[in-house]
Amino acid sequence: MFSKELFAFLLMMKNLSGFILICFTSFQFTFAQVAPEFNFSFDSISGTHKLILSGLEKEDLQKLKMTDPEFSRFQEFFPVYFGKNAPEKTENLPPVAGKYVLENDAICFTPRYPYLLRKSYYACFYAGKFKNIINSPVNDFNENLISFVFMVENTLDNQPPEVTQVYPSLDVIPQNQLRIYIHFSKKMLTGHSLEHIKLYNQKGEPEENAFLHLDPELWDPSGKRLTIWFDPGRIKRDLSPNLQYGVPLRVGEKYTLQISTAFKDIQGNRLHQSFEKTFVVGKADRSSPKPENWEITYPEPNSTQPLSIFFNEAMDQALTSRMIEVFDENNMVKQGSVTIGKEEKSWTFTPSENWISGKYQISINTKLEDLAGNSLQRLFDAETTQFSTTPSFKTKDFLTLEFEIPAF
């Protein structure tokens, strides 16, 4: 029960209730502000783990966006370390390398190489350093350190990965072969791939430095296809690496590409078994693909029969898969599926819906290459006197081949 004094006090403050409410709301807002915090989760769409720093003021994030700091500046206020604690100054250990992106009112960090399974990582946010970078006032509260320890758990299955395909698939490749594509059944651990991929000559000796060491490595977005290059400096004639070490492959010799079981997926699972592919080296290919020699088979109207191109030579599998499209007479891309034929010597398009009568175009990107990197535009390794094999599409971005489906 209220006392008379309290009741009188409340009546006396009645006219000031609006003021009291405003002050109370402001007071509550001050303490209800979201503080910076970390969140670690697995993105099933991209297949990667993301470390997210949220709860920063929108105004500060806008200033950060306008400042557009270098990667090293992000590491000053938002470093990530391997272990459960920040390293001592005497250890001089660098933060984990990766990429910082502003998205959804937060800062997202993705490591250059996948996090190791069941290993601890330490992230921290230095609010004062963050304020300095965006030129905002620093107070005592800003100096507080927010830290976060996290670990990658086993979010995927423990089935070992396998090598599902290696391109080129044919058994004889040109001496100036440029790329090899290795397909895996699962998303793989990146960063040290060439430690697990070796090339042996017919004597069983390893061919050192046959492949080009790249950082970062060339993985497709799924993390399941690795592209490795034979060293272009050794392939191109008269370049210093070529003169010093010679070409990576010798005509007439047999080689074995070996992928060891030490290769791991992002969950730490080793390859189910080692993989080997043996091939023989043929003469160098120093001519560009010649579309005038291609053979095309056309579909029947009102059917889903395939449209096929036969190249009369092996082409680069990955480029051929994405550099040829079909357009209808309304300049709309015809939807369907693409398959690359045996030994990468043909391209086949199967439409999702029946072909209807009308005019169509096959659009071919003139950057399309054969196994030696020779495109419709230019030769990969051309001599100044080599006029007879100069491509006829040097100034064109696309080659268009027209055809018509007659009325049924």
Output the domain CATH number for residue 254.
Answer: 2.60.40.3710
pLDDT for res 31: 37
- The residue that leads in pLDDT, 30 or 255, is 255
Name residue 401's beta-bridge partners. 362
Closest by CA to 110, choosing from 126, 98, 93, is 98
Tokens of 239: 């370049």
Residues in the chain, total: 408
Residue 70 sits in the same domain as residue 127: yes
**CA distance linking residue 125 with residue 98, whole number of Å:** 16
Residue 157 maps to a domain: no
Region label for 40, one of left (φ > 0), alpha (ψ between -120 and 50) or beta (otherwise) = beta
Helices (H) and strands (E) in the chain, counts: 8, 22
Q: Which of 260, 282, 304 is the last residue of a domain?
A: 282
Q: List phi, psi (to 5°) of 269.
A: -80, 130
DSSP, collapsed to helix, strand or coil, labels residue 383 as coil
Who contacts 393 (Cβ-Cβ below 8 Å, separation ≥6)?
A: 366, 376, 377, 399
- DSSP code of 300? P
Residue 119 sits in the same domain as residue 194: no
pLDDT for res 156: 56
Residue 13 maps to a domain: no
- Terminal Cα-to-Cα distance of the chain (whole angstroms): 93
pLDDT tens by residue, 104-139: 889 999 998 888 878 899 999 998 899 989 988 776
Residue 255 sits in the same domain as residue 304: no
pLDDT for res 171: 95
DSSP, collapsed to helix, strand or coil, labels residue 348 as strand
Tokens of 157: 């299955």
**CA distance linking residue 343 with residue 356, whole number of Å:** 31
pLDDT of 403 over the 70 cut: yes
Across the range 186-206, mean pLDDT stands at 94
Please tell me the number of Cα atoms within 13 Å of 195 on its side-chain side. 7
pLDDT of 344 over the 90 cut: yes
| Residues of the chain above pLDDT 90, percent | 65
Residue 260 sits in the same domain as residue 359: no
| Residues of the chain above pLDDT 70, percent | 84
Residue 246 maps to a domain: yes
Name residue 129's beta-bridge partners. none
Residue 125 sits in the same domain as residue 186: no
Name residue 106's beta-bridge partners. 103
Check whether the bond before 161 is cis (ω within 30° of 0): no
Q: CA geometry: angle at 122 spanning 118 and 125, to 5°? A: 150
Q: What is the CATH number of the domain that holds 377?
A: 2.60.40.1220
Decide: 241 and 209 in contact? Cβ < 8 Å.
no
pLDDT for res 28: 34
Q: Which of 282, 303, 338 is the last residue of a domain?
A: 282
Residue 43 sits in the same domain as residue 129: yes
Residue 87 sits in the same domain as residue 43: yes
Residue 25 maps to a domain: no
pLDDT for res 130: 92
Q: Which domain holds residue 296?
A: 291-405
pLDDT for res 136: 83
Residue 273 sits in the same domain as residue 256: yes
Segment 201-205 long-range contacts (CB within 8 Å, at least 24 positions apart): 201/250, 201/253, 201/254, 201/255, 202/253, 202/254, 202/255
Quickly list DSSP for 166-201.
Answer: EES-SSEEETT--EEEEEESSPBP-S-GGGSEEEE-
Beta-carbon neighbour count of residue 270 at 10 Å? Answer: 15
Q: What is the mean pLDDT of the chain?
A: 85
Residue 178 sits in the same domain as residue 278: yes
Q: Which of 282, 304, 331 is the last residue of a domain?
A: 282
Residue 275 sits in the same domain as residue 171: yes
Residue 45 sits in the same domain as residue 85: yes
- DSSP code of 86? P
pLDDT for res 157: 63
pLDDT of 16 over the 80 cut: no
- The residue that leads in pLDDT, 157 or 95, is 95
Residue 14 maps to a domain: no
Residue 87 maps to a domain: yes
Who contacts 27 (Cβ-Cβ below 8 Å, separation ≥6)?
A: none
Predicted confidence band of residue 92 (pLDDT cuts 50, 70, 90):
confident
Residue 267 maps to a domain: yes
**CA distance linking residue 396 with residue 377, whole number of Å:** 7
**CA distance linking residue 23 with residue 20, whole number of Å:** 5
How many structural domains compose the chain? Answer: 3
Residue 142 sits in the same domain as residue 254: no
Residue 260 maps to a domain: yes
Decide: 319 and 283 in contact? Cβ < 8 Å.
no
Tokens of 108: 């997202």
pLDDT of 154 over the 90 cut: no
**CA distance linking residue 56 with residue 51, whole number of Å:** 15
Region label for 93, one of left (φ > 0), alpha (ψ between -120 and 50) or beta (otherwise) = beta
**CA distance linking residue 180 with residue 212, whole number of Å:** 11
